[in-house]
């Protein structure tokens, strides 16, 4: 069985926009969601800027009951539920009000670590000898699968409901996993996405590794500079993105809007061998992942006309472009358009793949290639491989046909998914 799979719903809770309307406008304009964080300054962080969604209190009331809000101290769950429920509604789907689970609808919603603030709360109580005061929600807010469990209950899904975790590839990996489940006929509709908590306890470890920029604390919107000669590290972010994947058959039967088709992809690892390590990618594996993704998708290397890279704004951006160039066997003017949204949202860690995939897919709808911000000065390593014209610094009016989106993560893990414009047949 090898069924066609399409995207029928999108939802997002991102540093530069909560909800599709604001998010799309921010991407068109290159508006940044990276801000100075007073709590990071107070705690003496080297990097005191980050991307955090601005979620209004009364917005949370639309998604959580007063009982659910009591003691809720897990930002990842808030972001994930907003993005997930929005994507569900955007696909024209309802919450399950019947007495029977939706057997053919499931959820793969990933995260890296969930409910860290709730966990901190619990640790303090336990260390004080007050374990009995934890209450009933300590487990469900801190278990990794808390996010898929919340969404599963809200929507009444009866197919697979799980959480995947593969560092910064999490969101992209989830899309491929959901695609495979539908393609194989095991489900009709899968909500897939990922979320990442905000705050010092998530971002601190990266600050300690001294891989975050320290020179932009007074200039947050300029701090994240993918593909720039002056890039000096990634800016941590948080949030959630969500996509509804559906069999073409089901989408046509329901008569809903189709954003794009998912042609497939590839997931692999470099085994932390060669130049690969816990924190650095093995280029052989990256190239293999991209090439296999294109081949699994049943398209030609020349068909890819837009790339959304991982491109975090570290010294490795040049190497990533080299890997794309080698695997697609294209360079100079012949290279696809390439963008990174991390200049505006930062690196949203486990949420990166899904937030960026939502943005990537919106390009089909808007018939544009969203601009790259903060790379007026493209790194010479990159311009030695591809033409400057391939790195749009202004939002470009262009209808993409085939977009390759990749994410790479700690543990030397890679994921690449191929999206195609859907044309009514």
Partner 1 sequence: MQDEEKYQKLKDIIKIYLPEDVAITDIEKDSHLMNNLNINSANLVDIVLDVEDAFDIRLENDDMDQMQTVNDAMAIIDAKLKEK
Q: Which residues are at the interface with partner 1 (CB under 8 A)?
A: 66-67, 70-71, 133, 135-137
Q: Which residue lies nearer to partner 1 by CB, 67 or 423?
A: 67
Shortest distance, position 51 Cβ to partner 1, whole Å: 34
Enter the tokens of residue 87. 């994507």
Q: Which is nearer to partner 1, 3 or 69 (CB)?
A: 69
Q: How far is the CB of 78 from partner 1 (least distance, A)?
A: 19
Contact 325, 290 (CB under 8 A): no
Nearer to partner 1, 142 or 192 (CB): 142
Contact 36, 29 (CB under 8 A): no
Cβ at position 81, least distance to partner 1 in Å: 18
The CA–CA distances, whole Å, from 95 to 66, 81, 349 equal 19, 13, 29
- If the CB atoms of residues 74 and 382 are measured against partner 1, the closer one turns out to be 74
Half-sphere exposure of 282 (CA within 13 A, CB side): 17
> Least Å distance between CB 95 and partner 1?
12
Least distance in angstroms from the C-beta of 129 to partner 1:
13
CB of 251 to partner 1, least distance (A): 31
Q: What angle do CA 8, 13, 17 make, to 5 degrees?
A: 105
Q: Between 152 and 400, name the residue whose CB sits nearer to partner 1.
A: 152
123 vs 131, beta carbon nearer partner 1? 131
Q: Choose among 408, 74, 419: nearest CA to 240.
A: 74
Q: For residue 175, give Cα distances in angstroms to 127, 198, 275, 329, 369.
A: 40, 23, 27, 26, 21
Q: Are 107 and 152 in contact (CB under 8 A)?
A: yes
Ramachandran angles phi, psi of 110, nearest 5°: -90, 165
CA dist., res. 124 & res. 134, Å (int): 10
Q: Which is nearer to partner 1, 44 or 66 (CB)?
A: 66
Tell me how far, at minimum, the Cβ of 136 lies from partner 1, in Å: 4
* Least distance from partner 1 to the Cβ atom of residue 85, Å: 17
CA distances from 150 to 85, 146, 238, 242, 274 (A): 10, 6, 19, 14, 41
Instruction: Between 42 and 133, name the residue whose CB sits nearer to partner 1.
Output: 133
Shortest distance in whole angstroms from residue 94 CB to partner 1:
16
- CA pair distance 213, 231, nearest whole angstrom: 8
Contact (Cβ atoms closer than 8 angstroms) between residue 355 and residue 76:
no
Query: CB neighbours of 21 closer than 8 A, spacing ≥ 6?
Result: none
Query: Which residue, 65 or 397, has its beta carbon nearer to partner 1?
Result: 65
Using the minimum distance from each CB to partner 1, give the nearer residue, 145 or 169.
145
- Provide, rounded to whole angstroms, the least separation between the CB of residue 103 and partner 1: 24
424 contact partners, CB below 8 Å, separation of at least 6: none
| 137 vs 325 by CB, closer to partner 1 | 137
Cβ neighbourhood burial of 120 (10 Å; 0-12, 13-18, 19+)? middle
Whole-number minimum distance, CB 359 to partner 1, in Å?
Answer: 36
Contacts of 188 (CB under 8 A, 6+ apart): 104, 105, 182, 246, 247, 249, 250
Q: Is 34 helix (H, G, I), strand (E, B) or coil?
A: strand
Q: Is 422 helix (H, G, I), strand (E, B) or coil?
A: coil
């Amino acid at each position: 069985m090898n069924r066609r799979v399409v995207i029928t719903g999108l939802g997002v809770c991102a540093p530069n926009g909560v909800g599709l309307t604001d998010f799309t406008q921010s991407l068109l304009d290159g508006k940044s969601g990276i801000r100075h964080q007073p709590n990071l300054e107070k705690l003496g962080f080297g990097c005191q800027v980050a991307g955090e969604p601005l979620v209004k209190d009364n917005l949370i009331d639309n998604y959580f009951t007063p009982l659910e809000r009591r003691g809720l101290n897990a930002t990842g769950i808030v972001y994930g539920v907003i993005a997930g429920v929005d994507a569900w509604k955007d696909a024209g789907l309802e919450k399950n009000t019947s007495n029977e689970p939706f057997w053919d609808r499931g959820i793969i919603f990933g995260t890296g670590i969930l409910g860290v603030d709730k966990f901190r709360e619990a640790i303090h109580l336990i260390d004080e000898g007050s374990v009995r005061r934890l209450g009933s929600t300590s487990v469900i807010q801190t278990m990794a699968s808390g996010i898929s469990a919340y969404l599963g209950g809200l929507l009444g899904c009866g197919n697979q409901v799980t959480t995947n975790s593969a560092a910064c590839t999490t969101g992209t990996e989830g899309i491929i996993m959901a695609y495979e489940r539908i393609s194989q006929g095991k489900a009709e509709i899968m909500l897939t996405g990922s979320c990442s908590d905000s705050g010092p306890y998530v971002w601190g470890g990266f600050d300690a590794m001294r891989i975050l920029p320290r020179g932009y604390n007074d200039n947050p919107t300029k701090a994240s500079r993918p593909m720039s000669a002056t890039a000096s590290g990634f800016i941590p972010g948080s949030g959630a993105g969500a996509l509804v994947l559906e069999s073409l058959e089901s989408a046509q039967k329901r008569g809903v809007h189709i954003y794009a088709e998912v042609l497939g992809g590839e997931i692999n690892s470099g085994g932390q061998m060669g130049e690969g390590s816990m924190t650095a990618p093995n280029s052989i594996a990256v190239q293999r992942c991209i090439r296999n993704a294109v081949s699994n998708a049943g398209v030609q290397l020349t068909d890819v006309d837009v790339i959304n890279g991982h491109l975090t704004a570290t010294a490795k951006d040049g190497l990533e472009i080299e890997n794309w160039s080698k695997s697609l066997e294209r360079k100079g003017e012949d290279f696809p358009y390439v963008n990174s949204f991390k200049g505006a949202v930062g690196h949203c860690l486990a949420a990166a793949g899904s937030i960026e995939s939502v943005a990537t897919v919106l390009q089909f709808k808007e018939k544009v290639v969203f601009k790259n911000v903060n790379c007026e000065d493209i790194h010479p390593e990159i311009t030695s491989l591809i033409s400057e014209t391939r790195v749009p610094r202004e939002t470009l009016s262009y209808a993409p046909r085939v977009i390759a989106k990749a994410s790479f993560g700690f543990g030397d893990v890679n994921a690449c998914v191929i999206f195609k414009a859907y044309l009514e047949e």
